[in-house]
A and B are shown apart, each in its own frame.
Chain A
């Protein structure tokens, strides 16, 4: 079983749609969680950290369920510029970041 699992997609959605990505992780001792965004042929960049109480940043909402070892990202009112791969990232108990394979999002006009 992979340490961090994501549906690779692609998710094809129209502008203005709401889209949700899910991610599961296997190590219950993991302490911190993130969503990174990677544009085609570019480097990953931090989108947002994911806190236990859930957190929101504009159109983006992240949730963490420690009991189910599950992380989600919700994007409201999708823009063309949201098209990218979204990487679920978990800080393992051994002090390294474990990246999921990424979920590809394509927002169409």
Chain B
């Protein structure tokens, strides 16, 4: 009965490759997010979707492309991977968009990406 799930949990790949990370939530939430947590532990938002519509798009290289086929899924595709992309990527969901005050976000277990 996992709430927010991500696959894969670990991803090791070579520079220049293209890879995808998948995220699914079974909480019935309308809003989903992608975060990046770097080696210094800062957690930063990358994208947010509400009902399959992009609502937050931070300054992220356009090699990163999110896709939301339905409101329960938000996938992240990364082209031409670089060494600096190595990080832990967390998917999250919430019932309402972030701007709606006290609104808990539920995080997936994370995908640890290592680019060699």
Interface string of B96-116 (1 = CB under 8 A from A): 011101111101111000000
> Which A residues are in CB contact (< 8 Å) with B97?
95
State the CA gap A91–B48 with chains docked (Å): 14
Knowing A44-B43, A102-B41, say if A97 contacts B99 (CB, 8 Å). no
Interface of B, secondary structure class, is loop
> Which A residues are in CB contact (< 8 Å) with B55?
95
The answer to the question of B44 belonging to the interface, with a C-beta cut-off of 8 Å to chain A, is yes
Q: Are A44 and B42 in contact (CB under 8 A)?
A: no
Q: Are B101 and A91 in contact (CB under 8 A)?
A: yes
Interface string of A17-60 (1 = CB under 8 A from B): 00000000000000110100000001111100100000000000
The answer to the question of A85 belonging to the interface, with a C-beta cut-off of 8 Å to chain B, is yes
State the CA gap A49–B98 with chains docked (Å): 14
Partner of B98, one of A46, A85, A97, A101: A97
Q: Are A31 and B43 in contact (CB under 8 A)?
A: no
Knowing A32-B101, A91-B101, A101-B40, say if A96 contacts B45 (CB, 8 Å). yes
Knowing A95-B98, A96-B98, say if A43 contacts B40 (CB, 8 Å). no
Chain B interface residue bracket vs A = 20 to 34
Which residues of B from 60 to 116 have beta carbons under 8 Å from A?
A: 90, 97-99, 101-105, 107-110
Interface string of A44-82 (1 = CB under 8 A from B): 111001000000000000000000000000000000000
Partner of A99, one of B42, B56, B99, B109: B42
Which residues of B from 20 to 42 have beta carbons under 8 Å from A?
A: 40-42
Q: Are A43 and B56 in contact (CB under 8 A)?
A: no
State the CA gap A48–B74 with chains docked (Å): 26
> Which B residues are in CB contact (< 8 Å) with A85?
41
> Which A residues are in CB contact (< 8 Å) with B107?
43-45
